[in-house]
Amino acid sequence: MLVTIFFLITFALGVAGFYAWQYIRPSIPFVEETSKDRIQAIKRLSIGGHEVASALTELIEKDGAGEWPPRSDHDNWPQALRPYKDIYLELIPLLSAAPPSLDDAVNTVRREKYRALMRKLLTERINIAVVEAIMSSVEAGNLSVLPRDAINGFYCCVAVCRHAYRWATIPVVKVAQLETVIDFPPELDAPWPYLQRYFGVTAESGNNTANVVHNFDPNGNRVYKINVGMSELIRSSEETFFRMFYDLEVLALPIYCSMVQAVASYDSNDKLSTIKHLEAVSTHLRELLLVFYENVHERRISQSVWLSYIQGFQGWGVGRMIDGEFVKYDGLSGNHVLLFQAIDAFLGLDRYLTDEAMDRYIPYNQRELCLSFKKHSLRNKMKEGDRADARIEEELGKIVKQMRVFRAAHRTRVMPYLEQPAPERLPMTAGKSVLKGDTLNEALKLLDDMMATRLRETV
């Protein structure tokens, strides 16, 4: 009898000790206080050869200039590049008009005037040969001319100059929507292919990374605004709307890191750590989604001004002939946001965007990170009957649930913004350009179907 009790106590202590060790062993840290600590922890994993950690490290070091969200320097550029910023800022008060004219002829005159002025200033102040020399030096790897954070700032500047030239008046008007090809000033074309290659995207238009996430200086100030001379309602709605996308990436960093840690701990058979990192993903995701829930409503972003004054600038809808075929590019959409793509990939879901859209609008290192999350998705590794795996599945399920709640909320919250009257234009979203469908209702139904389908796929 005594022997049995002794055996049972020893066995129980052994089991308890094993689980306690799983919690305290120093393999992968659970709590990382600062972004810097988190980035360092991921770097250590990448040095250890972990593929997903390497993808995240590459993204942060190259595209982020060592930080995430990416650090963007909008001031310390070679003299030859500075006029781009000056010209955007000098001309921006002329871009928006209130109320927009419904007369095509008036709008055409306005647009021609804006474009002529931009062309004139660019010709007078930019030396294309010097710009190209700087860009090819950067391409050859000489980052002392234009360090990574300055490349990010410059990318943003050229992208927003191109969007300003493309529309040439805000709100977006029908005559502008009906254009198919635009002859850009050579100064706006010259640096673009270098920037496209540096970031690994092919679109003539900008994207969420260039136009929005890079549009904040290291002090958190938004640099290139759109509606500078307009009402307080328009300006504050614009600021709130675009700041959300930067704030999302601030709150996304701990999620990217915890997802990498979850994969790495699972690979080293440390399933209790995996569970803890998944819990951290859930906690941080809840906090991140609050950015959407707390901002996308009438009191923070006015429905009456969003469609006409805020969304339009980020659209595109023009293209050019490539190898005998007309290629049209779209503008920005929430579907460019890295966080949602990364979580979908981590959960093993198929992509929302097509391969073509990924190559056009999503920077190469962001695509690589998502591919790596997908390849290492824990959901493909779960073993039936394994109790720890069952707990892991449960945690993954909680993340899926949060994504479903977000997608359901997004679907209903965004509709009133898209339903607003905008008689100056044809129905359009920035990300899908002029919409298909004979009536506004038909066009919106197509968008709603896309969102409903994505919601159904989120399982």
In the region spanning residues 215 to 274, those forming contacts with ligand HEM, defined by CB under 6 A, are 244, 248
Q: What are phi and psi of 230, to 5 degrees?
A: -90, -175
Least Å distance between CB 247 and ligand HEM? 10
Give yes or no for residue 135 binding ligand HEM (CB under 6 A). no
* Member of 334, 388, 391, 408 binding ligand HEM (CB under 6 A): 334
Tell me the angle at which helices 364-375 and 51-58 cross, rounded to the nearest 10 degrees. 160
* Member of 9, 181, 450, 459 binding ligand HEM (CB under 6 A): 450
User: Cα angle vertex 73, ends 67, 76, to 5°?
Assistant: 140
410 is in an annotated binding site: yes
- Looking at the Cβ atoms of 64 and 312, the one nearer to ligand HEM is 312
Total Cβ atoms within 10 A of residue 192: 18
Among the residue ranges 141-149, 211-219, 224-232, 412-420, the one whose residues contact ligand HEM (CB under 6 A): 412-420
Provide the sign of the torsion angle of the four alpha carbons 393, 399, 404, 405, taken in this order: positive
- Please give the Cα distance from 108 to 455 (Å, whole number): 41
- Looking at the Cβ atoms of 103 and 298, the one nearer to ligand HEM is 298
Residue 184 CA to chain centroid, in angstroms? 25
- Looking at the Cβ atoms of 148 and 432, the one nearer to ligand HEM is 432
Q: What's the alpha-carbon Rg for the chain, to the nearest Å?
A: 25
By beta carbon distance, the residue nearest ligand HEM is 334
Give yes or no for residue 338 binding ligand HEM (CB under 6 A). no
- Please give the Cα distance from 119 to 125 (Å, whole number): 10
Give yes or no for residue 410 binding ligand HEM (CB under 6 A). yes
In the region spanning residues 144 to 183, those forming contacts with ligand HEM, defined by CB under 6 A, are none
In this structure, are residues 72 and 217 in contact, taking their beta carbons and an 8 Å threshold? yes
Total Cβ atoms within 10 A of residue 350: 8
Among the residue ranges 55-63, 123-131, 257-265, 428-436, the one whose residues contact ligand HEM (CB under 6 A): 428-436
DSSP string covering 284-300: HHHHHHHHHHHHSSTTT
* Member of 343, 414, 422, 443 binding ligand HEM (CB under 6 A): 414
Least Å distance between CB 451 and ligand HEM? 5
- Looking at the Cβ atoms of 57 and 314, the one nearer to ligand HEM is 314
In the region spanning residues 61 to 80, those forming contacts with ligand HEM, defined by CB under 6 A, are none
Query: Smallest Cα–Cα separation from 161: which of 72, 214, 91?
Result: 91
* Member of 417, 424, 425, 443 binding ligand HEM (CB under 6 A): 417
- Please give the Cα distance from 242 to 215 (Å, whole number): 9
Query: Smallest Cα–Cα separation from 307: which of 405, 202, 447?
Result: 447
* Member of 425, 432, 433, 443 binding ligand HEM (CB under 6 A): 432
- Please give the Cα distance from 418 to 435 (Å, whole number): 11
Least Å distance between CB 453 and ligand HEM? 9
- Looking at the Cβ atoms of 201 and 337, the one nearer to ligand HEM is 337
User: Cα angle vertex 292, ends 252, 279, to 5°?
Assistant: 45
Site string for ligand HEM, 292-331 (x = CB under 6 A): x---x---------x-------------------------
* Member of 177, 335, 366, 402 binding ligand HEM (CB under 6 A): 335
Give yes or no for residue 418 binding ligand HEM (CB under 6 A). yes
* Binding-site size, ligand HEM (CB under 6 A): 23
Least Å distance between CB 334 and ligand HEM? 2
- Looking at the Cβ atoms of 152 and 429, the one nearer to ligand HEM is 429
Q: Where are the alpha helices (DSSP H) in 126-231?
A: 128-139, 148-167, 174-177, 186-189, 192-199
- Please give the Cα distance from 146 to 78 (Å, whole number): 7
- Looking at the Cβ atoms of 289 and 396, the one nearer to ligand HEM is 289
In this structure, are residues 53 and 46 in contact, taking their beta carbons and an 8 Å threshold? yes
- Looking at the Cβ atoms of 113 and 456, the one nearer to ligand HEM is 456
- Please give the Cα distance from 270 to 264 (Å, whole number): 9
* Member of 96, 107, 314, 333 binding ligand HEM (CB under 6 A): 333
Output the CA–CA distances (angstroms, integers) from residue 41 to 28, 46, 68, in the order listed.
Answer: 8, 9, 14
DSSP letter, residue 362 = S
- Please give the Cα distance from 92 to 86 (Å, whole number): 10
* Member of 106, 130, 405, 451 binding ligand HEM (CB under 6 A): 451
- Please give the Cα distance from 420 to 398 (Å, whole number): 35
- Looking at the Cβ atoms of 332 and 392, the one nearer to ligand HEM is 332
Give yes or no for residue 454 binding ligand HEM (CB under 6 A). yes
Give the interface with ligand HEM as residue ranges (CB under 6 A): 244, 248, 292, 296, 306, 333-335, 337, 340, 352, 407, 410, 414, 417-418, 429, 431-432, 447, 450-451, 454
Annotated binding site for heme b: 410
Question: Residues annotated in the binding site, as ranges?
Answer: 410
